[in-house]
Amino acid sequence: MSWWRWFSVYGPTYLDGLAATGVIAAAAAVCAVIWGALLLLVRLELGRAGARAVDAYVQVFRNTPVLLWIYLIYFAFPLVGLTWPAVVCGGLALMLQNGAYISEIFRGSVKAIDLVQFDAARSIGLSSWATFRKVVLPQVLVHSLPALGNQIILLLKDTSLLSAISVAELTMNAKLLTEQTGAAYEAFVIVAVLYLFLVAILELGVKWARHAVSWRPPHHAL
Amino acid sequence: MGKRRLVPVMFGLACMLSLLVAAGTARAEDKSRLETVLQRGKLVVATFSTAPPFCYTDDKGQLVGFDVDIARLLAKALFKDPSKVEFVVVTAEGRWPAIESGRVDMGIATTTIYPDRAIRVAFTRPYVDSGVSVLVKKGLGTKSLADLNQDKYTIANLNNPQMADRAKKFIPKTKTLTFDTPAAQVLAVRSGRAQAAQLDTPVADWYAATNKDEFEVIPELMGYSQNNAIFLKHGDFVWWHWLDTAVGEMRTGSYYGDYSEIYQKWFGKNPPPQKFYIR
């Protein structure tokens, strides 16, 4: 089938999948960053026990494939009464997994904050919550932007695993199209290009963020 | 994306597109797959691994089943040795690329003949009768498809369009979920994600028979009796002809004895008679 006809017939299917993937990835990424920040907070504020707990959590999610968690939450949780929609199950698994990695990224960035700043914060009377909010978090976010961008790209690619639990995202649509038309190469090459496109958008976003946080006043203003 | 990233990305795109072109170009094969298989000394077969009793892994992790044994019977016909088979396990949508790419010689994977499938793959004559039944959780109280046709129920389908069409035709009000293996479909019913699953009749019967207090099968078939067949790549008449001849002899001729043994082993009853006029 000619490419043009392919696009006109199956274009809408691809666009639906693209939109679904984008939305799920965006939502899961936001939740993962928040969750990673929360884990960081636990590590910083709850002493040795907190740090150990977060370490254990990270170990669990580093050593297991995210597909395992997707299956567990989707298929096994209903057995104990927790039946959530497929998108929520998948998003939750992605959030838990990537939150672990993001908290590790944040941990590295915290080390870059000079200890002097914590003393300074305490000396002007900032509570630990205020220190976290106003001193730690902004600097950590800025420092970890490249690594965060990388992790979110990985998260985007992991959304393809949600096709295993019947979520109508891009990879699922490619599978359905392959079944319908038998044109496996066309279907999957287009999907690969679409993922590249999404990643390109993400990279633009990261670049914009880096520019936004590293604004320097122009020479003539000083 | 700055200029420095553009080159690698374009390169990657170009590689992918050239792969596509290379794959799409017809590769002229002078010799038939039959010759290739005979020279290789081994038959490469695509099959599923979660569709009992046709093709599944048993407790010891061995791939077994009716389809598996039929493939071994073919190897016996080719090489006098039923062990000269290599199985490639695929998922539902992966069986077609496996054939088209030439990675496997043929597929036998509880695959039903449909005319729209026959546009892209060649089928031999059927090697076993099939049909589509609905597996439900026991105690659901649905005795017929009409009972199942309610908004509150969900049915688990495989990702092929025939399943979606059937569900739309017979139980339009029921919600659907789509998975890529029969095991995932059954798992969905088991965990309560769905209340029913569309499966080939022998597969549904097997699951119900081995999990008597968990599943049952709705007696009504979804549609009519259907045919499962071996599928292979289009265009190779010699290979298709050999496979079709072999299946024909299994069902009605010289290999009926071996076929009956396999049939008895997996279905517990005799296969349909060789010819209608033979008792």
Same domain as B235, residue B114: yes
CATH number at A148 reads 1.10.3720.10
- Is B155 inside any structural domain? yes
B113 lies in the same domain as B250: yes
Task: List, in order, residues 6 or more apart from B152 with CB less than 8 Å away.
Answer: none
* Confidence tier at A118 by pLDDT (50, 70, 90): confident
Residue B144 lies in a domain: yes
Nearest to B177 among A78, A166, A189 (CB): A166
User: Which chain B residues touch A196 with a CB distance below 8 Å?
Assistant: 9, 12-13
Q: Is residue A221 part of a domain?
A: no
Non-local CB neighbours of A13 within 8 Å, separated by 6+ positions = A173, A176, A177
Q: Are residues B247 and B260 in the same domain?
A: yes
Is the same domain home to B50 and B183? no
Over residues B226-251, mean pLDDT = 95
Yes or no: say if A107 and A44 are a contact pair by the CB < 8 Å rule.
Answer: no
Residue A121 located in a structural domain: no
Would you place residue A1 in the very low, low, confident or very high pLDDT band (cuts 50, 70, 90)? low
Instruction: Judge if B136 and B159 occupy the same domain.
Output: yes
Q: Which ipTM was obtained for this model?
A: 0.73
Query: Does residue B18 sit within a domain?
Result: no
* B113 and B68, same domain (yes or no): yes
Q: How does DSSP classify residue B48?
A: -
Structural domain ending residue among the three candidates B190, B208, B224: B224
Residues B103 and B212 in one domain: no
Domain region containing B163: 132-224
Cβ neighbours for A23, distance < 8 A, ≥ 6 positions apart: none
Kindly give the pairing relationship between strand B132-137 and strand B196-200.
antiparallel
- What is the helix (H) or strand (E) element at residue B76, kind and residue range? helix B66-79
Q: Are A38 and A106 in contact (CB under 8 A)?
A: no
B277 assigned to some structural domain:
no
- Which pLDDT tens digit goes with each residue over B29-45? 578 999 999 999 999 99
Residue B58 and residue B140 in one domain = no
**CA quadruple A63, A66, A68, A69: dihedral sign:** positive
All residues of chain A having their beta carbon less than 8 Å from the beta carbon of residue B159 are 172, 175-176, 179
B131-159 mean pLDDT: 90
Q: Alpha-carbon distance B188 to B169, whole Å?
A: 22
Which residues of chain A from 89 to 108 reach within 8 Å of chain B, CB to CB? Answer: none
Question: Residue A3: inside a domain, yes or no?
Answer: no
If asked whether residues B137 and B194 sit together in one domain, one would say yes
B150/B176 same-domain check: yes
N-term to C-term CA, chain B: 75
Q: Per-residue confidence at A33, pLDDT binned at 50, 70, 90?
A: very high
Give dist(CA A173, CA B24) in Å, integer: 22
A4–B contact, CB cutoff 8 A: no
Residues of A in contact with B198 (CB under 8 A): none
**Contact: B161, A193; criterion CB under 8 Å:** no
Residue A142 resides in a domain: yes
Confidence of residue B220 (pLDDT cuts 50, 70, 90): confident
Number of domains in chain B: 2
Strands of B175-179's sheet, edge to edge? B175-179, B154-158, B196-200, B132-137, B215-217
The CATH number linked to B88 is: 3.40.190.10
At residue A45, φ and ψ (nearest 5 deg) are -100, -25
Task: Quote the CA–CA distance of A109 and A143 in Å, as a whole number.
Answer: 6
How many structural domains does chain A have?
1
The predicted model scores a pTM of 0.78
Asked if residue B58 belongs to a domain, the reply is yes
For A107, list phi and psi in degrees, rounded to 5: -60, -40
State yes or no: pLDDT of B271 exceeds 80.
yes
Chain A residues lying within 8 Å of B184, measured CB to CB: 164
Where do we find the tokens 């090459």? Answer: A189
pLDDT digits (tens, 9 = 90+) for B102-134: 999 999 999 999 998 898 899 999 999 999 999
| Statement to judge: residues B214 and B144 lie in one domain | yes
Give the mutation candidate from B180, B185, B190, B198 for the A interface (greatest A CB count, under 10 A): B180
Does residue B198 lie within any of the structural domains?
yes
Tell me: do B238 and B205 sit in the same domain. no
Kindly state the helix (H) or strand (E) to which residue A30 belongs, with its residue range.
helix A3-45
The range of the structural domain enclosing residue A43 comes to: 11-111+137-213
